[in-house]
Amino acid sequence: MLRICLIFLITSAFLNAQDKEILGSGKWTFEFLPKGILLPEEHAKKVQDYHGVAVDSQGRVYVGYYTKKADQDTRSVARFNYNPGQNPPFKFDRFLGDTSWVKARLHGLNVIKTKSGEERVLLVYNTHMVILCDLDGNIDKEMTFKAQHKQFRKASDGHYSPLSAQLGIYDGYATNVLHEMDFNGSLTNKKHGSKGKGLDKTNTAHGVGLDPAGNYVIADRGNKRLVWRKPDFKPLLSKKDPSKHVQLATPGLEVCNVQFKDDYAVLPCLNSRIAFLKKSSDSESGYELDSYFAMPKNLIKQGYDGIHDVNFSIDGKYLIVAVWQRNRKIPPRLFALKKVSEKSK
């Protein structure tokens, strides 16, 4: 009997190991966790697209998404607690906001830190709405607001560097103009950039990241590159050629955001790819492409397709991934990837 039990346990362990889907390679090798992070089932059914992933200093994860219909059973931002080592590692905590937050299409989501060190959640909608709230979703405290500005024809994302005077909001799906915004929700009428390929221009400024030096890094999706802006929102100029941005080409990658963690960064790409940057002294930007992997065809067929945003867990052990779905017959996905150490491979 003991021998039979041992054989069963060994066989079960072998089968479970065989069932694991391993993605990537080298130091960027991950175990695919389809249920690593989940909305409550009734809410998940109504999601049309997952759009943003942000992480606060407590390790909590914020997921922004767009629902098919605004009612009492939909929201646009969910918060998850992080429990490393548990299954699942990310557990639903609460929703932020009310149904009025659902009436427009949420696109950009970032956790920012003010000069005083307080954290805020910045939400940018594809319409005219921008929300800055505290970590519980309140908009009735200092440095919080809900504002609408028609200058944002189809906004994409926004961010804030502690070295900046204002928030920066990109009208990235339309004019590609970056607008400076006060912390009370009013516009300053200071604008930067336009649509194109050259200096101070972008073509679908899809996402805005913040590098460790406090510079803004724009995912210039249409031009397949990252471009750098200084904390005053002006282009960071190339020392080799002052007629150009400091930039980093991302050939073959429909890069739509960039999230930094220590000496690395992760790039979500709408063409089913996740890419990584590493520090480099050979690049003016300070970074170079390290590697990338494509989602396997079997997962793409299940909806793990248009990678819209990816972020590191606070300890770097996981990636949280939000998927925008090109094929409307297939539901979008929210999932996690667990980093696989060299020893455990």
Q: What is the pLDDT of residues 274-296, one digit of tens each?
A: 999 999 999 999 999 999 999 99
317-329 mean pLDDT: 91
Domain ranges of the chain: 21-339
pLDDT digits (tens, 9 = 90+) for 161-217: 999 999 999 999 999 999 999 999 999 999 999 999 999 999 999 999 999 999 999
- Amino acid identity of residue 316, one-letter, is G
Q: Tell me the chain's radius of gyration from C-alpha atoms.
A: 20
Question: Where does the pLDDT of residue 72 fall: very low under 50, low under 70, confident under 90, or very high at 90 and above?
Answer: low
C-beta of residue 300 within 8 angstroms of C-beta of residue 272: yes
pLDDT at 16 (0 to 100) = 41
| Across 13-17, 18-22, 115-119, 326-330, least confident range | 13-17
Task: Report which residue type is found at 150.
Answer: K
Encode pLDDT of 105-140 as tens digits.
999 999 999 999 999 999 999 989 999 999 999 999
What is the mean pLDDT of the segment spanning 45-49?
A: 90
Q: Which CATH superfamily is domain 21-339 in?
A: TolB, C-terminal domain (2.120.10.30)
Q: Which residue has the higher pLDDT, 11 or 95?
A: 95
Q: According to DSSP H, which parts of the chain are helical?
A: 2-19, 41-44, 297-300
Q: What is the pLDDT of residue 327?
A: 79
CA dihedral 125, 67, 109, 270 (to 10 degrees): -100
pLDDT of residue 342: 56
What is the overall mean pLDDT for the chain? 92
Confidence (pTM): 0.93
Query: Taking CA 312 as the corner, what is the angle to CA 279 and CA 273, rounded to the nearest 5 degrees?
Result: 80
Range with the lowest mean pLDDT among 50-59, 73-82, 167-176, 230-239?
A: 73-82
